[in-house]
Amino acid sequence: MPDPNHDEQPALAVEHIGVEFGKGPRRLRAVQDVSFEVATGRTMAIVGESGSGKSTLARAISGLVPLSAGSVTVRGKDFTRPTRAQRRHVQMVFQDPYSSLDPSSTIGSSLAEPLIVHERMGRRDRGERIKELLDSVGLPQDAAGRFPHEFSGGQRQRIAIARAIATRPEVLILDEAVSALDVSTQNQIMGLLNELQEQHRLTFVFISHDLGVVRWLGDQTLVMYMGHAVESGPTERVHSQPEHPYSQALLSAMPVPDPSVRALRGRTLLRGEPPSPYESPRGCIFASRCPAVIDVCHTVLPPVRTSAAGGTSICHLETSGSFAPVLQTQA
């Protein structure tokens, strides 16, 4: 349970994280120099496309993948190479509800696992706790004796969430946890997550490629591109006034469910494809596709700029709207 004396401390602090795989010419920098903090009970949404490194980042924070650089701190305590006991504080919910539960075990067995590993509970107490967990995610108590294949995708995701909160963690990392669900089910699960966050003061790190979901669930948003955090800030600000050209392109690429904006919309279309993850360009990682690129972008790493409306972005250009109109007319 969170210690009231430590409420000022962020639940999760990530500093200059880097994750690398392989060696020499096959060295892949999946995540480079990412830092952020999340206050207790808040949600940090991490958004990006494929190859952005967001999933690797999620796994690095939860300790499933080793860090090559930087540190992770949970409520002030170092979480960089978590011990087994420490793992109870940070749990994960995965994307695919169809394979994140052991198909050959009952739901009860899957829910009991974190309790067996981390708590000293007798069988009866465990059973009670399992019933509690099922109830808190809106599933009937007889679910414990059934198997994953008897449930729909949305229900399985509820089970996965129940499993993740079993040890009363501080932080929940949700890796595309609603992406594989239909829109009605998505909303049901998002509603559940909202409820659980309020009830238990859970801190979320929510990874997604779906900007609509991110806007709803995130308090802060971090935009990732090719392993770098190109922009971060309060969600509303990032969504309504994105400052980094990539964020702008991403947001303008998102289809809007309103046919009347179709004709009016100036859209930033990115040309080409992302560079190979094995390359490490000298300058800005986005230089090869940036519609507002200037010479210095290719040779010098961009500085971190603070936005007046909150948050940061890494870019050579002066921010706050000076190139936003330029980009918008490129349809």
Partner 1 sequence: MSSSVPVPVIKVEDLTVEFRISGDWVPVVTGVSFEVHRGHTLAIVGESGSGKTVTSMAMMGLLPGRQSRVSSGRIEFEGRNLIGLRRRELNQIRGGAVSMIFQEPMTSLNPAFTVGDQIAEVVRSHCDVGRREATRIAITKMDAVGIPQAARRARAFPHEFSGGMRQRVMIAMAVSCEPRLLIADEPTTALDVTIQAQILELLRDLQEQQGMSMVFVTHDLGVVAEVADDVAVMYAGNIVERAPVDKLFANPRHPYTAGLLRSMPAGARDRSATIYSIRGAPPKPADFPPGCRFAERCPAVRTECVESIIPPIELGTSRMVRCLRHDQLATSEGRDLHA
Partner 2 sequence: MSATSGPLHGERPRMGWLSRAMSSRSTKRFTANRPAVVGVVVLMTLVLLALLGDSVAPYPPNSQNLDETFLAPFSSGHLLGTDNLGRDVLSRLIAADRVALFAAATAVVVAMVVGIPLGFIAAYFGGWVDVVVQRATDALQSMPPLMLAIALLGAVGPGLTNAMIVIGLVFSPAFLRLVRASVLEIMSEPYIEASRSIGTPALRLVLTRILPNALPPVLVQVSIVMGIALIAEASLSLLGLGVSPPDASWGLMISQGYNFLYQQPWLVVLPGITLALAVLALNLVGDGLRDSVGRGGDTGGDR
Binding mask 206-225 for partner 1 (x = CB under 8 A): ---x-xxx-xxx--------
Which residues are 74's β-sheet partners? 12, 77
Using CB under 8 A as the binding rule, whether residue 258 contacts partner 1 is answered as yes
Residue 227 binds partner 2, judged by CB under 8 A: no
- Decide whether 62 or 312 has the Cβ nearer to partner 2: 62
**Cβ 141 to partner 2 shortest distance, Å:** 8
Partner from partner 1, partner 2, none binding residue 85, C-beta < 5-8 Å depending on class: partner 2
DSSP 264-283: T----PPPS-PPPTT---SS
Pairing relationship of beta strands 77-78 and 28-38 according to DSSP bridges: unpaired
Identify residues 102-141 at the interface with partner 1 (CB under 8 A): none
The number of residues that bind partner 2 (CB under 8 A) is 54
3-state SS class at 287: coil
- Cβ contacts of 262 within 8 Å, gap of 6 or more: none
Q: How far is the CB of 90 from partner 2 (least distance, A)?
A: 8
CA dihedral over 148, 152, 155, 160, signed as positive or negative: positive
Side-chain-side CA neighbours of 302 within 13 Å: the count stands at 28
Would you list the DSSP string of 204-259?
A: EEEEES-HHHHHHH-SEEEEEETTEEEEEEEHHHHHHS--SHHHHHHHHHSPPS-G
Site mask for partner 1 (CB under 8 A), range 234-253, x = bound: -xx------------xx-xx
- 185: contact with partner 2 by CB under 8 A: yes
Q: How far is the CB of 93 from partner 2 (least distance, A)?
A: 9
Contact criterion met (CB below 8 Å) for 88 and 118: yes
Cα 23 to Cα 264: distance, rounded to the nearest angstrom? 48
171 near partner 2, rule: CB under 8 A = no
203 binds partner 2 per the rule CB under 8 A: no
Q: Is residue 64 involved in binding partner 2 (CB under 8 A)? A: yes
Q: Look up residue 113 and give its two tokens.
A: 């696992």
Distances (CA, A) of 324 to 237, 243, 268: 14, 8, 10
Any contact of residue 96 with partner 1 (CB under 8 A)?
no
Two tokens at 102? 């052991």
Site string for partner 1, 138-157 (x = CB under 8 A): --------------x-x---
Return all residues near 86 (Cβ < 8 A) that are at least 6 apart: 74, 77, 79
Least gap, CB of 61 to partner 1 (angstroms) = 23
109 binds, among partner 2, partner 1, none (CB under 5 to 8 A by kind): partner 2
In 3D space, the residue among 122, 49, 62, 50 whose CA is nearest the CA of residue 91 turns out to be 62
Binding region for partner 1 (CB under 8 A): 49-50, 152, 154, 182-188, 190-191, 194-195, 198, 209, 211-213, 215-217, 235-236, 249-250, 252-262, 267, 269-270, 272-273
Q: Give the binding site for partner 2 (CB under 8 A).
A: 62-64, 82, 84-85, 87-88, 91-92, 94-114, 116-118, 123-124, 126-127, 130, 142-145, 149, 152-154, 160, 163, 167, 180-182, 185
